[in-house]
Structure 1
Amino acid sequence: MAGKEKDMSKVKQMLRLHHNGVSNRQIAKDLSVNKETVNRYVKLAKLDELSITDLLKLDDPVLQHRMNGGSPSYPEGERFDDFKKKLSYFEDEMKRPHVTLKLLWEEYIAEHPKGYGLTQFRYHYRQHTKAKRPVSSSLLKDLYTPGEKLMIDYAGDRLEYVDRETGEIVKVQVFVACMPATDYGFAIAVRSQRSEDFIHALAMCLGSLGGVPKIVVSDNLKAAVVKTDPHEPKINRILEDMANHYGFVVIPARSGKPKDKSLVENQVKIVYNRVYAQLRNQKFYSLEELNKAIGRRCRHITVSVCSNILTRAKSSL
């Protein structure tokens, strides 16, 4: 396979999406990996005597052996860095008459014999040029499948409570989530944005929903995404392990693309108006007490959302 062998947690995300009926092309787009990589692992999974469901239950080292046979990895970071340094040169050369990507690849591979093959060369170059194009507006509204996605983020402003023992005011972060198909929202206060608090908040959210979505769309916070990259973002391993345990896929919002998580940002505004503002004159003396109040206000929001949905449904009959 061209490129390094994937972490098995990433491979499990690919196989889970395939098992859910998502096309290989869409999986590659959603997980920011090369389509040929997805094709390879899906093909290997189909050839394996175990079903995809059984493969997903294997420990990572066991799956690694079945998928790759313990083959050594290639220093992908080094190769991509070399390619990235030449991107501006490739762009300038492509503006010249009669120059093709294949010609540039032939020159590139002569200089870097262990570099990308022609397919990956074209893919990375086109991804780069596509990322620089201005985004055209569209009049079509995104259509969401109920229960498919959960969008998550943190509110920018913090809430607070008073420590009973010291009298100190303790500032806390507020985790916000929403199901885009129904606008069902959830909020909980946690002590920080550290991984352990983030995972706790997400687990509480899933418990409140009473189920698990197929996809979690996260912001690029450190607890979710270790390294942002337009081609291959690196998901926090703790979150990936949680995703594989619960059976969902993590797809981070693209950096600089607010529309990817616009509905949860709108949910944050709702939480500001209907939670923060409503609780502004109240004092709380523990995180648990604060979260009980947040929960009561969120239930009011849910009732209001359900009422609006029923009203719209009746008016359409």
Structure 2
Amino acid sequence: MQDYNTIIGAIQMRLNKCPTRSVMDRFRIGSSTLNLIMSRYKALELTIDELEAMSPKEVENLFYPQKNLQRKEVPLPDFQYYYDRIHAPNSRVNISFCWLDYKEKNPDGYEKSQFYEYYQRFVQENYGGTKISMAVNRKPGEKMYIDWVGDQPGLLTDVTTGEIMRVHIFATTLGVSSMIYAEAFPNEKLPCFIEGCVHAVSFYGAVAKHFVPDNLKTAVTKHTKDDLVL
């Protein structure tokens, strides 16, 4: 099952005539998954605007109906029980152990991939998701994070030829306030990078103690587990 962003994003890219390989690389999906999404999109006979007007859960259920996943002759596992075991204090139980426990009690029950799929749905619907992140302590004004946005949209028009040109989006954000500065450039070369940093500092009205670039070629010369050269 793919999430809302993957479903909508893949459809939009294919409608915009993006190559299949680009879509697969962008969302890290295989050709069979992409073909499934597009075939179900055509079968639904809905426009992309109509899909975007729906809630994420409605779209996901349209493309991956619950009835297609569930085997009626096999009862669903007690996911609340397994969730409580996984999250109990000092618990060493994980989802793999839960599946083994379930299969021991239900030899003809769901296989691992189906069990995981249902568990993820249960957590998403009842607890908002399975992703866990750790809070990071930040100091005001200490760091400005810098990166080039992955997508390169066609935003500029050549007034002479009418050609649509792609732009490279330079983006920065401050660690505490999450204030963002973004600017479009014709390329990602060093002069544009430096100009973007200067404009960002001017926009913020202050200079952060540290500039923290992501692993972008403009700012990082070498990055290995043992060495980092900016």
**TM-score, normalized by the shorter chain, greater than 0.5:** no
Structure number with higher helix proportion: 1
* Greater relative contact order structure (CA < 8 Å, 6+ sep): 1
